[in-house]
């Protein structure tokens, strides 16, 4: 009996292999893709691994044993913690302001044909494509010339500046599929322009606005080059980490990096789950 069962089990896959022509190309491409993914994750693995390294001195370069102690006190370095806090606060401010301003630009592009459209368009592209080192140095030049004290304020000014185009582009992409009749319909039904925006336009483009805001937050949080030019004495997380590279980055950085990575995963998974849930919810509503 057992032998027979084994035979049938074996027989099946063989049959399938024969049925489908076996080709080298069939596994090469997926194999390559998975190798790429491995390559993409290698530094992340290293980061996470060394968050558990039981290092004793200043250097967290060689594996010296497993420990959880860095996770007990991830905020043990006051200057690192305050750098993280200022990063989060500049990024939050930068996100809020650039999301509003960028969305307004996207709306203008979506709704109106106006003089200067192509110029603004070119400025947006230039901004996206311009090198950070050029923008950073230009901003520094201006701030020095204009006697603007460098610090938190100038970081926010800069971060908003380089986030606006990304927000505008992202929201515009969302608006591209937006039926202008919807706004007209709202207006037609007695909604003032503000009501129209709040009740119709915003709810519909909201996923795009959220995506734009997250993008803006991410690039503000992660920016090193421009921020380093205009930060003055203010330390942000990337600036602190970059400064610390000279001596060896303490394991707390790995811990915080791991948290950020997990946070990113969590947000993505939540988004995906929310989508699935919403779709099923809609399906259920339809059946009711």
Binding mask 16-35 for other proteins (x = CB under 8 A): ---------x---xx-xx--
Task: State the greatest distance between any 2 C-alpha atoms of the chain, in Å, as a whole number.
Answer: 90
7 binding other proteins? (CB under 8 A): no
Contacts of other proteins in 244-273 (CB under 8 A): 244-249, 253-254, 257, 260-261, 263-265, 268, 272
Pick from 85, 88, 120, 153: which binds other proteins (CB under 8 A)? 120
Member of 15, 68, 173, 273 binding other proteins (CB under 8 A): 173
66 in contact with other proteins (CB under 8 A): no
Sign of CA dihedral 161, 165, 168, 171: negative
Taking CB under 8 A as the criterion, the residue among 95, 164, 209, 255 binding other proteins is 164
The Cα–Cα gap between 149 and 157 comes to 12
Which of residues 94, 102, 208, 251 is near other proteins by CB under 8 A? 102
The distance from CA 211 to its chain's CA centroid, rounded to whole angstroms, is: 9
The verdict on 232 binding other proteins (CB under 8 A) reads yes
**Spatial distance between the Cα atoms of 276 and 257, rounded to a whole number of angstroms:** 29
CB atoms under 10 Å from CB of 185, counted, come to 13
The candidate with the shortest Cα–Cα distance to 106, out of 184, 33, 166, is 166
Distance CA 56, CA 59 (A): 8
Joined together, the tokens standing for residue 13 give: 């896959």
Residue from 6, 7, 17, 61 in contact with other proteins (CB under 8 A): 61
Under rule CB under 8 A, residue 237 binds other proteins: yes
- Does residue 211 interact with other proteins by CB under 8 A? no
**C-beta closer to other proteins: residue 11 or 203:** 203
Q: Which stretch binds other proteins (CB under 8 A): 1-9, 11-19, 88-96, 232-240?
A: 232-240
Helices 202-222, 78-111: inter-axial angle, 10-degree rounding:
140
What is the C-alpha to C-alpha distance for residues 62 and 74, in angstroms, rounded to an integer?
A: 20
Query: Hey, what are 6's tokens?
Result: 């084994």
Which positions from 130 to 159 touch other proteins by CB under 8 A, shown as an x/- string? xxxxxxxxxxxxxxxxxx-xx------xx-
Rank residues 10 and 279 by Cβ distance to other proteins and give the closer one. Answer: 279
Q: Smallest gap, in angstroms, from Cβ of residue 17 to other proteins?
A: 19
């Amino acid at each position: 009996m057992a032998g027979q069962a084994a035979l049938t089990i074996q027989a099946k896959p063989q049959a399938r292999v024969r049925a489908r022509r076996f080709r080298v190309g069939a596994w090469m491409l997926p194999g390559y893709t998975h190798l790429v993914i491995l390559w993409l994750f290698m530094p992340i693995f290293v980061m996470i691994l060394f968050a558990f390294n039981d290092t004793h001195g200043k250097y967290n370069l060689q594996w010296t044993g497993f420990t959880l102690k860095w996770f007990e006190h991830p905020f043990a370095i006051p200057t690192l913690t305050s750098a993280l806090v200022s990063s989060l606060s500049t990024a939050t401010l930068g996100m809020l302001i650039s999301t509003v301003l960028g969305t307004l630009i996207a709306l203008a592009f979506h709704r109106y044909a106006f003089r200067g459209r192509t110029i603004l368009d070119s400025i947006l592209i230039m901004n996206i494509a311009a090198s950070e080192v050029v923008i950073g140095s230009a901003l520094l030049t201006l701030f020095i010339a204009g006697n603007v004290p460098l610090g938190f304020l100038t970081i926010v000014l800069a971060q908003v500046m380089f986030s606006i185009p990304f927000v505008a582009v992202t929201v515009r992409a969302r608006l591209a599929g937006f039926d202008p009749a919807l706004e007209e319909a709202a207006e037609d039904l007695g909604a003032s322009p503000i009501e129209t925006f709040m009740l119709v336009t915003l709810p519909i483009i909201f996923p795009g606005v959220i995506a734009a805001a997250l993008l803006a937050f991410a690039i503000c949080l992660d920016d090193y080059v421009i921020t380093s030019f205009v930060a003055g004495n203010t330390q942000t997380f990337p600036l602190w980490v970059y400064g610390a590279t000279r001596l060896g980055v303490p394991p707390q950085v790995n811990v915080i990096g791991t948290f950020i990575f997990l946070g990113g995963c969590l947000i993505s998974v939540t988004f995906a789950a929310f989508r699935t849930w919403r779709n099923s919810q809609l399906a259920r509503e339809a059946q009711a």
